[in-house]
Amino acid sequence: MSVASETTAKPGAGHGPARRWTLPRWLREPNPILVKELRSMFRTKRFVRFLYVSTGLVGMLVISLGGGLAASAFTPAQAGRAVYQTFFSAALGLLCLVAPAYAATSLTGEKEAGTYESLILTGIDPARIVWGKFLASFAVFGLVVVALSPLVGLAFLFGGISPGHVVFGFAGLAVVLAPAVALGVAVSARVRSTRVALLAALASFPPASMVGASMLALLGKPAGSAWGLTMEGPFWFAEALATQFFHPDVFLLVVLLPLYLSGMSVWFFLATAIAGVRPAAEDRSTLFKWWTLAALAGLVAMIAGFTGFAGRADAAEVSVALTMASLGPILLFALIFMNEPPLPPREAPSERGSRWRRHLRGLFGPGAVPTVRFAALAIAAAAFGGALSAMAGREALFPGLSEGGRTDIALVSVGLGNVAVGLFALTFGAYVRVVLRSGMAARILTLVLLFVLVALPLLVSLVVDPEGLDRMDESLPWGLLVTPIAHLFVGGAVINDSTSRFHEIAVPLVLYGALALLFWVLLEARVRRVRGVVERQRALQERRGERRAEAAEPDAGGEP
């Protein structure tokens, strides 16, 4: 090779063509499901008629209210704010009522029309199918919001609001619209009937949104007194964002927290929809495991943050109350991960990848036992992470509290109890799922069992000792010690009680810890038995195939 050729040779020429950076596939290629849905929607007259009807109804409501306020004793600024709240409240009600119902027909319509199987057989990844349905429904109702937007201009005629109020009001609609559409898509992926999907969507999201809007309106009064706000109604946060966006309290509570909750809800609903679209033989739990890791980080951060916002006088009680409330996410983790088949899919663990990745997948990958291991670690991280973050937040912001020692004991006892109860619910549900081969039955039986374990001992305690509940600050009735919420009562009482309550902490911990260990051992034994049966059946099929091949060889050799 000459010197000239050496100098003109490209670097890495001996190692194949140079690798060029390219955009991700979802940026290079449009989602085919999104394109199909938007084309089919815009070719029909129903969407245009819906725009006419919805805009007309909201416009009549806003104009009638504006005319009534103009003739009343309200000041122009008060009338403008009332018109603003009316417009966005009406738009919110319309979206919460129609958006989940429309999205709930996205996949059931394919199933009833007989095109769902063809859609699956095209080879499109289930995640792209779900994302295409979600983005199409979100875009449709985004156009509805755009069509309604000129009506808010009536509020500017009165005054009292700024363009920032309007911008943040529409941002609030988008934050609520995303979970509404994602819930509809998740329901549509799980059921086969459009009527059932519509009923499920209308029975879940609109009532929840009404409760959330009412709570948000009630929070407007303390927020107004703390931040000096004058606007009332569910969209009071727009004034806080328009005037104090970079204030630490406003930014954390009104910007980051809603975005986090909305994003986690969308992630969970879409993961549920993707799991519903994927065949049963494929991995369905990995998406939920990634979601759980993000949920754990958010839970720990929220407990530490709200402990700091509580103030020095209430930091101890708030930290314990937040650690008690973490039992809700812990039971949610248990309900999610108890629905796993005994054995992982045949393609898992993958032979590709590094050795540590294959080992990690074998420990915490799909399948009943690896998923239970992952869920157990998540439950322990949620319980102890919440308790430790509450301790750290309290000590960092309010050092030297007189009740700090009792608070730490209460936090540790509540955390240990949460772990024991969470592991019991997880292992019991996973064992029932493996035995009955039904995730729905396992979840229902687990919830029923927890309810019975709470209600029955409570009724027995009331019958045996009616005055025992009045003395819980001094001593917890023995009937309540066997309930899954006994550690919550003990944790709340330890803060204000300097006496030793070791036995009240130990009894529920030992009871539910032992039950969790028992069902975990039963689960491991059941899975080993199933694996043995499957391996014997597979070996038998292989021997049959070999015998057929041996029997066919003489016939093949005797042919001319």
- pLDDT of 470-498, one tens digit each? 666 667 777 788 889 888 888 877 776 65
Work out whether the CA dihedral 19, 22, 25, 28 comes out positive or negative.
negative
Distance between alpha carbon 154 and the CA centroid of its chain, in Å?
38
Examine the pLDDT at 555 and tell me if it is beyond 80: no
**Verdict on whether the full-model pTM lies above 0.85:** yes
Helix axes 286-310, 315-325, angle to 10 degrees: 160
Q: What's the confidence (pLDDT) of residue 320?
A: 84
Average pLDDT over every residue of 132-152: 92
Examine the pLDDT at 322 and tell me if it is beyond 70: yes
Q: Could you tell me what percentage of the chain is helix, strand and coil, using 3-state DSSP and rounding each to the nearest 5? A: 80, 0, 20
Average pLDDT over every residue of 455-467: 81
Examine the pLDDT at 157 and tell me if it is beyond 70: yes
Which residue has tokens 């009064």? 221
What DSSP line would sit under 472-509, residue for residue? TTT---GGGGGSTTHHHHHHHHHTT--S--HHHHHHHH
pLDDT band at 6 (very low <50, low <70, confident <90, very high): very low
Q: Is the backbone peptide bond immediately before 126 cis, with ω within 30 degrees of 0? A: no
Alpha-carbon gap, residue 218 to 226, rounded angstroms: 14
Give whole-number Cα distances, 519 to 417, 426, 430, 433, 516, in Å: 17, 9, 9, 12, 5
Examine the pLDDT at 10 and tell me if it is beyond 90: no
Q: What is the percent of the chain with per-residue pLDDT over 90, rounded to a whole number? A: 37
Average pLDDT over every residue of 380-403: 77
For residue 30, how many C-alpha atoms fall within 13 Å in the half-sphere facing its CB? 9
Q: Could you read off the pLDDT of 186-233 as tens digits, one per residue?
A: 999 988 889 999 999 999 999 999 998 888 888 888 888 888 888 888
Alpha-carbon gap, residue 410 to 51, rounded angstroms: 56
Examine the pLDDT at 425 and tell me if it is beyond 50: yes
Examine the pLDDT at 131 and tell me if it is beyond 80: yes
Q: Which two tokens stand for residue 534?
A: 């499957």
Residue 481 and residue 504 in contact, taking contact as beta carbons nearer than 8 Å: yes
